[in-house]
Amino acid sequence: MNGQLFNNENQLMILFGGTGDLTFRKLLPALYNLQKTDRLPTRFRVLIIGRRPYTSESYHEQMRSWIEGNARFRIDEESYQRFCEKVEYFQMDFNVPDGYGPLRERLNTLDPDRSAQRVYYFAVSPASFVVIAQDLAKAGLATQNPQDLIIIEKPFGDDLQTASEINEVLETVFVPSNIYRIDHYLAKEMVQNVLAIRFANVIFEGIWNRDYIDNIQISAAETVGVETRGNYYDHTGAIKDMVQNHLLQILSLVTMEKPLDESARSIHDAQYAVLAKVRFPQGEELGSSLVVGQYTVARESEENRSYRHEEKVDSQSMTETYAALKLEVDTPRFKDVPIYIRTGKRMHKRSTEIAITFKKSFYHGEQAKNDVLLIKVQPDEGVYFRFNIKKPGQEYSLQSVFMDFCQSCIYENRINTPEAYERLLFAAFAEDSSLFTSWDIAKNNWQFIEDLNREMPRQNVQLYFYESFDDGPVQAREMLERDGREWVEEKVLGDDFQA
């Protein structure tokens, strides 16, 4: 039906964490979307591993509501039925080594001649990666089998050391190039689009450098708080949760050199080359170039609590839920161009954007406003460009106008755009690792975060409290004002700007 989309059309996915949040909200809906669009391998099955006592039938019943609530397509009975035929539940506690023998037996029954590509997905906390990998190996499963893939989720560890330990074990059990590390921001439509916008337009490619760009901003604001993840978040914080991975990945796409070709290897090499050159301000300057904050509320309620009163969060916690930081990449292309990044929970709106502000021109005795290119990543997807023209009329003066392309306003685009996990699973089945991140990059970014964390107390970086559903700490605004700049947002772009 779907023709040859994959090298191996016979694929068996083994999903650890089958009753967890990620599986419910992202993975099953993504697999269903692939089923619905005929983009699953022809012979595809998924073995869902969980501790709870489901049968495959009762799991299918449960799964329906997760798919209904989260998939981009409505359930149609025929597709759902065909999907259910591919989903089998296997009850097992992955912490108990005895469970791996029966798992091997089940896999041998499903794939007796071992011709399937087995795709292991660890949708569990990184603390369990090593246990599962080692027990799979002991059971004679996976060990360096060239057909087997493994997909893991960021953060791949808690710090450089744990991440390295995990990586070492995974690289013993699986072929290193078959380890697919997810950073789901890389699969977002408009993040993907950064390279197209840069390299498919001579008008941008030619000016994408320190001679023309004044500053770069990357913002990822969320309205959600830590929800049920207090346990994880309280020893993680915004810098490790969002900067270490998502924001640095975006930064690399915005600032890297053009990859030699479109292969995963070349893209990763170009990303790595620039990430190795990312610098934060040294010495005392760090104190004023890094703003960390924590959300609080004037009036507590069940739905709206201060971070310190969230479930499983320490009541004296000093963990940051907001971070704004000035960076630089030490490359000939971008040296001395400030790169401001920020992310926060419980902000007044959800919005991820990349803003490129160009240098000011001077024409006809008048200082023009900066041209601004804004790539809107989410929730709206699109590209906005502000530039200058002559004001109509006899008198000569400039006015600032804009072009605004809203990709997600077009219904067909919304329906035809696969969600990040759909794109990622499809890419993994097709053995295309370009949307995933490499160990070199993850390691480099952990090292960067460790260096930053070491410097923070030395340079007296303070934690500021900010009101939920507002703009974040005022100090982040002041940080840019000191540089004679401002965050690119509605207020700055003017009344015509549609956020």
Q: Which of 122, 61, 124 is nearest to 89 (CA)?
A: 61
Candidates 71, 119, 130; CA nearest to 95 is 130
Nearer to ligand BG6, 83 or 322 (CB): 322
Question: Smallest distance, Å, CB 420 to ligand BG6?
Answer: 7
Indicate the residue among 239 and 461 with the shorter CB distance to ligand BG6.
Answer: 239
Closer to ligand BG6 by CB, 419 or 489: give it.
Answer: 419
**Nearest-CB residue for ligand BG6:** 241
With CB under 6 A as the rule, give the number of residues binding ligand BG6: 3
Q: Rg for the chain (alpha carbons), in Å? A: 24
User: From residue 179 to residue 218, what is the string marking binding to ligand BG6 with x (rule CB under 6 A)?
Assistant: -----x----------------------------------
Say if CB 460 and CB 369 are below 8 A apart: no
Task: Transcribe 58-83 into DSSP letters.
Answer: HHHHHHHHHHHHH-SS---HHHHHHH
Distance of CA 240 to the CA centre of its chain: 12
Distances from the Cα of 209 to the Cα of 276, 280, 364, 417, 483, angstroms: 18, 19, 25, 31, 19
Q: Which of 184, 246, 309, 364 is catalytic?
A: 246
- Nearest distance, CB of residue 388 and ligand BG6, angstroms: 33
Q: What angle do CA 222, 209, 269 make, to 5 degrees?
A: 75
**Least CB distance to ligand BG6 at residue 308 (A):** 17
Cβ nearer to ligand BG6, comparing 244 with 433: 244
Residue closer to ligand BG6 by CB (options 45, 346) is 346
Pairing of strands 362-363, 366-367: antiparallel
What's 56's DSSP letter?
H
Q: How far is the CB of 264 from ligand BG6 (least distance, A)?
A: 21
Burial of 171: CB neighbours in 10 Å, binned 0-12, 13-18, 19+: middle
Q: Which residues pair with 382 in a beta bridge?
A: 376, 406
What does each C-alpha distance from 405 to 351, 353, 381, 383, 494 come to in angstroms? 17, 14, 9, 5, 17
Q: Is 111 near ligand BG6 (CB under 6 A)?
A: no
Nearer to ligand BG6, 30 or 40 (CB): 30
Which residues lie across from 480 on neighbouring strands?
none
Minimum distance of ligand BG6 from residue 238's CB (angstroms): 8
* 135, 148, 234, 241: which one binds ligand BG6 (CB under 6 A): 241
171 binds ligand BG6 (CB under 6 A): no
Q: What is the DSSP string of 164-195?
A: HHHHHHHHHHS-GGGEEEE-GGGGSHHHHHHH
The rounded distance, in Å, linking the Cα atoms of 39 and 52 is 30
Would residue 246 show up in a list of annotated catalytic residues for this protein? yes
Q: How far is the CB of 218 from ligand BG6 (least distance, A)?
A: 13
Min dist. Cβ of residue 253 to ligand BG6 (A): 16
What is the nearest approach in angstroms of ligand BG6 to the Cβ of residue 438?
Answer: 18
> Whole-angstrom Cα distance, residue 182 to residue 184?
6
Strand 463-467 vs strand 43-50: parallel, antiparallel, or unpaired? unpaired
Asked whether position 222 contacts ligand BG6 by CB under 6 A, the answer is: yes
* Nearer to ligand BG6 among residue 118 and residue 184 (C-beta): 184
Of 184 and 423, which has the nearer Cβ to ligand BG6? 184
- CA dist 28 and 31 (Å) reads 5
Q: Which residues are catalytic?
A: 246
Question: Which residues are near ligand BG6 by CB under 6 A?
Answer: 184, 222, 241
